Amino acid sequence: MTIERYCFYCGTRLQVLKRGLGKEEHVRLICPKCHAKFYSNPIPAVAALVLDGDRLLLVRRDVPPFEGSWCLPGGFVESGEDTREALSRELFEETGLRGKASSLVDVVSFVDTNPEGKGVIIIGYRVGTYKGVLKPGDDAREVRFFGLEALPPIPFSSHRALIERLRQSGTH
């Protein structure tokens, strides 16, 4: 399925512009009339690394992709939202806990398989203190702390990378 796009400056139908070769090839849309370029930029997301001693908080997904699998609480940053605000919002929506980002763990990215080929940039924050009643919400069916050395399989490579960076930092 091809999605037709039009220039929001002049209304002309956009054309595909390919640059580079192989893995280095970038696809952009360009307006043949006013020459405006439109980029398919990665989508920003956040992930919360909440520790209770040597136990890490995970959520079991209730929606695709990887429905039924465990992952870090988090999600996409809304337009106009600060990444730390997004982290606090997502943490509360998925787990019932209120917490704030205390430190940056890492920033990781990956290209997913959506039709537009957009990637995702995930900003992982350590959550220092938190309060509230742990309960699944939003798109989580279960929330639970796991020992860092006894984590279930985690399908998102970006989440595995953030957890590994947390382990390497020795801040747990």
Instruction: Give per-residue burial for 126-141: e unless 16+ CB within 10 Å, then b.
Output: bbeebeeeeebebebe
- To the query of whether residue 142 is one of the catalytic residues in this protein, the response is yes
Contact of 143 with 59, CB cutoff 8 Å: yes
Residue of 67, 78, 142, 164 marked active site: 142
- CA angle at residue 167 from 166 to 170, to 5 degrees? 90
As annotated, the active-site residues are 142
